[in-house]
Chains A and B, each alone.
Chain A
């Protein structure tokens, strides 16, 4: 087995609330292997979303090291971190975060603007990716013309279109009905198993967590036990 994709050592993070300093993550040490599908679980305020944000490089820790793909992302400047995210991280949000003024095709094309691809190449790749998530008949639809499940599938297509090594998902089924949630989780499992994508998913839904290969529990900013492998 090679080096883990994500290596977290003694990571800590606190927020300042007025005069008070509120610790959110305390001394987190965790490795996540390549091509793993890990669920971060815990009650509200446990720090799971903060940990996901740190791994995704959209927040900075106060202490410790955090390497992704061998790069210590805590040492990167803002612009270098932005370039790193564009190249290596795909995001799936609870409320999809699609651009309402862009069609499904344009939303998926969006991350490719940061690559050197031509317009035709971008559109071809975006269409192919939407086909992968079974939305080839919705290319020209705007987000408000799609169901929640369809919007989340567009968001997943946007997350994978630039072929990132890591996909982070924050409560990806939190806003979906049961059937749509099941479809989205099945799609994420496919991405993990068939394409070998490393996925880290925050959820407080035990059903959703069952889709992952391993579950990490957090409580009050601390890891509870070791990652639990699943079926």
Chain B
């Protein structure tokens, strides 16, 4: 049996035709096609891949990021796409130069499922997603001050001593952003009376009598 170089997904040629130099390079690894794209056009490219007939990558499997040990290597934000109808996969990577700002446009407007995935990447890698409606930490607590744990410059045991970590963890308020009341109010927001909506939108909270 002769080994043949696996062919990349036909989406690569279509992308090159549509976006030209914004497509930086592509590779095939373990049968998966990986396309590296320019960070400024990433949102356009992902929107194009979602809506263009013949592509229809309508399911965002995952958003994650990779920080390489070599400090010269850029940090990569990874979008794993799947077309449910065509049963095809495509991986888009957006390299971000670590000397510049780590920022890409949020794809929350394309896939609602990107909400928590982008929050996780923000929490673990410090990548900010422009246009994300609620970009805050999701795994570590809100007042976590040690940095972004999955970055290669983050020490395994954290930046603070165990005593300081314990002190800060005990000082955290677990109900700060996740109280049952706030979550259930958010769920039922559309059914609330108008005056209550106005008060909540203005940041007012009720008083216990």
Q: Do A and B come from one complex?
A: no
A interface residue numbers (CB < 8 A to B)? none
B interface residue numbers (CB < 8 A to A)? none
